[in-house]
Amino acid sequence: MKEASIIVCRCEEVTLEQIRETISKQGCSARETKLRTRAGMGICGGRTCRPLLDRLTAPPEGESASEFPLKVQPPVRPMSFAEWGHSS
Amino acid sequence: MNTNCDLIVVGAGPAGLAAACSAAQAGLKVLLLDEFMKPGGRLLGQLHQEPGGAWWNGIREAQLLVLGAQEAGAVIETGVSVTGLERTRDNGWTLWTNQGRYRSPYVLLATGAAESANPLPGWTLPGVMSIGAAQVMTNVQRVRVGKRGVVIGMNVLAMAIVSELRLAGIDLAAIVLPPGNALSGSSSDPEAVLESLVRFADLAPNAMLKYGAKLLQSSMTRNIALNLYPKQGIRMMGVPLQLRRCAIEIVGRDAVEGVLVADVTPRGEPIAGSERFMEADFVCIAGGLYPLAELAAVAGCPFRYVPELGGHVPVHGENMQTPVPGLYVAGNITGVESAKVAIAQGRVAGLSIAFSAAAENAPDEAEIKDAMKQVKRIRQEALIQFHPDIARSRAKLYQTETV
Amino acid sequence: MSYGRIEHHPVLGPLPPAATVSFSFDGSHYTAREGESIAAALLASGIRTLRLHEEHGSPRGIYCNIGHCMECRVTIGAKSGIRACLTPVKAGMDIRSGTVLPTPFRQATKSDRSLSL
């Protein structure tokens, strides 16, 4: 199957090929892959593709993998500046 | 800013509602927040027949839980998305939401699970949705998702929802495997999928499949079955379960027009020249569930990777308390299991919090222990086993003995 | 009829009665059952495309239907990024789909590249 035609991150339309090439060329971590390809950086904040990126970048090693490969930062849902201002 | 409560529960699904009810009964002022338009969470969409023949109707079960929580004095607010939470200097919590800030000494995260995907070409087309999306549209919104669909992926959740779609009169052309790629893992491997079929045999009212599932428990008979498995599939609820066929691509210009499928070898490799076009106007992607724990991560809770529980779960004890002071978890955020287990866990969490907060009618330790035993009992009796090793991995997580 | 509502359900029973409200989507008028989501109301009317991808223009509709994926975001009045799957329809709502947005910087990068080649 052509990896170029498989979109992994729907928000930013990043393909499996782009992600796999970046990982193999740069040998990068989940975080660096995200920054280089923009996969997981779209409006949903990686809600759909985060588990997929995790599978590609950091195969969990049993129970030693005690943290998320990708850091989670608030807001965990997108919100407008108006809402943000209202709440803080 | 809303500061008038002892406990904020995030997520009004089965776990959150049950927790709110028991905590409020014990005398705590409880506020439940949920981003959906009505309380009930994923329980709302559930509809299946119990072994005794009675129907488990998620809408009715949710109504009962909502009523119970409200009668106990809990307040439910819907349409509220919690976007972050932070520990305050006085050992409480501030929650940021799209409706302003909230403060509370205790927080229970009952955010449930989210669906994993199995991406394939064409999956961004309108008409392609997660299988859970089809469930909500069908049973909660009562809107038809399409004329004829294809389900891609075979797992417990997929089988349960296929039954529900059929019950609502939705036509399904086939259930096929996802294509094998760097992301699909064992979900595109016919043998691994066949092995997991055993676990949802009780969900399939089709006697043949139940009978077959018993036979499939040995790896030798599984291999034979796989080689003899008919390409057109075995029918389940009138839908061909095509274990020897995978989706290659979802086809359509402006929306789904069909799915290109191919026969696969017993090892899951597509057979060249076997491709065929299956007409459909909607596609359900069934990639399974993983615990939705992002708020626990934001709160600084440590995690464990437990594949049997669906992925990364926040560290917690059997009493549903996390190592972060004032932070509790219950339901699918702690591992993917059935709604009944989530309800039982929610009850434990509500009682634990009331105990810790020294609420007016706080339970004693024996009562909490009883509630914890009840979780184990319900887990054992569960109709839907999401994973065969749940009990063992839970025991390891809690460092307790399994029964 | 490919879309529309599940009027009769063998276990859940008949569709409970609900008031009808009207709203507009991209200038066309539709009706909804009061209290249902925008995504449900539009799908019941046969509308599956809720927006075009901002950059590439690929059509998108609901995907997760529970507020995680943001694929169903629409603009209501002056407010953009509203999830159609979580938002109940209200009478008179003026709902707009999303469309391709200009990407001036990307264009510049492309022409820079072609100039340097």
Q: What is the ipTM of this complex?
A: 0.92
CATH of C8-101, one of 3.10.20.440, 1.10.10.10, 3.40.50.720, 2.30.110.10: 3.10.20.440
**Gap from A44 CA to chain C (nearest CA, Å):** 5
* Count of domains observed in chain A: 1
Pairwise CA distance, residues B272 & B43, whole Å: 42
Cβ pair B116:A87 closer than 8 A:
no
Cβ pair A51:B295 closer than 8 A:
no
CATH topology for the B117-287 domain: FAD/NAD(P)-binding domain (3.50.50)
Helix (H) or strand (E) holding B297: helix B294-298
* Percent with pLDDT over 90 in chain B: 77
Q: Phi/psi of residue A85, each to 5°? A: -65, -40
Instruction: Using a CB–CB cutoff of 8 Å, tell me whether C26 touches chain B.
Output: no
Q: Does A30 have pLDDT greater than 90?
A: no
Q: Does A47 have pLDDT greater than 60?
A: yes
Instruction: Using a CB–CB cutoff of 8 Å, tell me whether B132 touches chain C.
Output: yes
Omega cis (within 30) before A75: yes
Instruction: Using a CB–CB cutoff of 8 Å, tell me whether B111 touches chain C.
Output: no
Kindly list the residues from chain B whose CB atom is less than 8 angstroms away from the CB atom of residue A75. Answer: 83-84, 96
Region for residue A21 given its phi and psi (left: phi exceeds 0; alpha: psi -120 to 50; beta: otherwise): alpha
The angle, 0 to 180 degrees and rounded to 10, between the axes of the packed helices B219-228 and B207-215 is 130
Give the C-alpha distances (Å, rounded to integers) separating B305 from B210, B302, B394, C114.
32, 10, 12, 47
CA atoms A35, A38, A44, A47: torsion sign: negative
CA atoms B43, B46, B50, B55: torsion sign: positive
CATH of B7-114+290-398, one of 3.40.30.10, 3.40.50.300, 2.30.110.10, 3.50.50.60: 3.50.50.60
Helix (H) or strand (E) holding B225: helix B219-228
- Which residues in chain B (239-268) have CB-CB distances under 8 A to chain A? 248-249
Task: Grade residue C111 by pLDDT with cuts at 50, 70 and 90.
Answer: very low
Nearest to A68 among B117, B120, B303 (CB): B303
Instruction: Using a CB–CB cutoff of 8 Å, tell me whether C33 touches chain A.
Output: no
Here the tokens at position B176 are 């096929």
Average pLDDT over residues A64-69: 59
Question: E-assigned strands of B153-308?
Answer: 171-177, 234-236, 239-251, 258-263, 276-279, 282-285, 289-291, 303-306
* Nearest alpha-carbon partner for B338 in B61, B153, B5: B61
- Picking from C5, C65, C70, C99 by the largest number of B CB atoms within 10 A of its own CB, the best residue to mutate is C65
Task: Grade residue B301 by pLDDT with cuts at 50, 70 and 90.
Answer: very high
Per-residue model confidence (pLDDT) at position B197: 75
CA atoms B16, B17, B23, B29: torsion sign: positive
Kindly list the residues from chain A whose CB atom is less than 8 angstroms away from the CB atom of residue C68. Answer: 44, 47-48
Kindly list the residues from chain C whose CB atom is less than 8 angstroms away from the CB atom of residue B130. Answer: 63-65
Domain boundaries, chain C: 8-101
Cβ pair A10:C81 closer than 8 A:
no
What one-character DSSP code corresponds to residue C49?
Answer: -
Give the C-alpha distances (Å, rounded to integers) separating A52 from B84, B400, C60.
23, 32, 20
Helix (H) or strand (E) holding B159: helix B156-167
Please report the DSSP string for B102-153 in residue order. Answer: EEESEEEE---EEE-----TTTTSTTEEEHHHHHIIIIIS-B---SEEEEE-
- pLDDT tens-digit profile of C18-74? 999 999 999 999 999 999 999 999 999 999 999 999 988 999 999 999 999 999 999
**Gap from B308 CA to chain C (nearest CA, Å):** 23
Q: Is the Cβ–Cβ distance between B177 and B153 less than 8 Å?
A: yes
- pLDDT tens-digit profile of B218-257? 777 777 778 888 888 888 888 999 999 999 999 999 999 9
Q: Please work out, in degrees rounded to the nearest 5, the angle formed at the alpha carbon of residue B355 by the alpha carbons of B354 and B356.
A: 95
Instruction: Using a CB–CB cutoff of 8 Å, tell me whether B113 touches chain A.
Output: no
For residue A40, the enclosing domain spans 3-60+68-87
Q: Which residues fall within 8 angstroms of residue B3, CB to CB, at 6 or more apart?
A: B102, B103, B104
Please list, residue by residue across A42-64, b when 16 or more beta carbons sit within 10 angstroms of its beta carbon and e when fewer do: bbbbbbbbbbbbbbbbbebeeee
* Nearest alpha-carbon partner for B200 in B158, B242, B170: B158
| Confidence (pTM) | 0.93
Helix (H, G, I), strand (E, B) or coil at B185: helix
**Gap from A84 CA to chain C (nearest CA, Å):** 14
Q: Which residues fall within 8 angstroms of residue B149, CB to CB, at 6 or more apart?
A: B134, B165, B170, B171, B172, B173, B280, B281, B282, B283, B284
Q: Is the Cβ–Cβ distance between C40 and B234 less than 8 Å?
A: no
Long-range contacts of C73-78 (CB under 8 A, 24+ apart): C73/A43, C73/C98, C74/C25, C74/C38, C74/C50, C74/C98
Nearest to B141 among C9, C36, C49 (CB): C36
Q: Does B207 have pLDDT greater than 70?
A: no
Range from B4-8, B82-86, B220-224, B241-245 carrying the lowest mean pLDDT: B220-224
**A–C: how many Cβ contacts below 8 A?**
30
